[in-house]
Chain A
Amino acid sequence: DAGVTQSPTHLIKTRGQHVTLRCSPISGHKSVSWYQQVLGQGPQFIFQYYEKEERGRGNFPDRFSARQFPNYSSELNVNALLLGDSALYLCASSLDFSSYNEQFFGPGTRLTVL
């Protein structure tokens, strides 16, 4: 069974650039969540999407945006990159948006901003 997949694995950008990260959920899962994990910290919630609609948003600036497609895959976009955006970006999928459902995490995309 394929788990959650994310692309790319690694990415290097410079300040001010834009980045798009992609996530494919487990088959049958309709909800996707995005997290930022800075080195030495736990994952921080950015967004949750369910059936193409935003169901939750964390405390992140408007430079961060996301969307979910009809096939339930998702993109996370970050504009005007800052050095502080360097982190591991995790995607997690679940059956729906209920907090009772286990979230299954992908391997992450390591973003480095120079």
Chain B
Amino acid sequence: AQSVSQHNHHVILSEAASLELGCNYSYGGTVNLFWYVQYPGQHLQLLLKYFSGDPLVKGIKGFEAEFIKSKFSFNLRKPSVQWSDTAEYFCAVTPDKLIFGTGTRLQVFP
């Protein structure tokens, strides 16, 4: 069965620290990859997506993610986090339907 694993359930950082959230998926075919973010009290919204081409994709608010096909991974990164990045982050893949990971709760302290 297709699945998505997010290894970090809860991450606590200080402002200006670097961030990397792991995401691995299990599916042998072609997939589309997404990172969604849910800020406190807000809707799920798209952070970035990968369909094809350059495996390093840039999203909103300084986030980027790298697709490594050989590792079935799509890790999210940000060089310097801000307090406003406090949110829940979900990795998702879609061969056909959207399959989400369990999410990573990020807390950034000033």
User: Which residues of A pack against B, CB within 8 Å?
Assistant: 3-4, 33, 35, 40-45, 48, 56, 58, 90, 92, 99-100, 102-103, 105-108
**Which chain B residues lie closer than 8 Å to A106 at the CB level?**
43
- B8 to chain A minimum Cβ distance, whole angstroms, is 13
- A7 to chain B minimum Cβ distance, whole angstroms, is 15
Q: Chain B interface mostly helix, strand, loop or mixed?
A: strand
Q: Chain A interface mostly helix, strand, loop or mixed?
A: loop
Are the CB atoms of A42 and B94 closer together than 8 Å?
A: no
Are the CB atoms of B97 and A48 closer together than 8 Å?
A: yes
Given A42-B90, A43-B44, A90-B44, do A99 and B102 touch, yes or no (CB 8 Å)? no
Are the CB atoms of B94 and A99 closer together than 8 Å?
A: yes
25 A–B pairs (Cβ distance < 8 Å), ordered by A:
A35-B98, A40-B102, A41-B102, A41-B103, A42-B4, A42-B90, A43-B44, A43-B98, A44-B100, A45-B97, A45-B98, A48-B97, A56-B97, A58-B97, A92-B98, A99-B32, A99-B95, A99-B96, A99-B97, A99-B98, A100-B51, A102-B46, A103-B98, A105-B43, A108-B43
Contact with A along B30-63 (1 / 0, CB 8 A): 0010001000000111100101000000000000
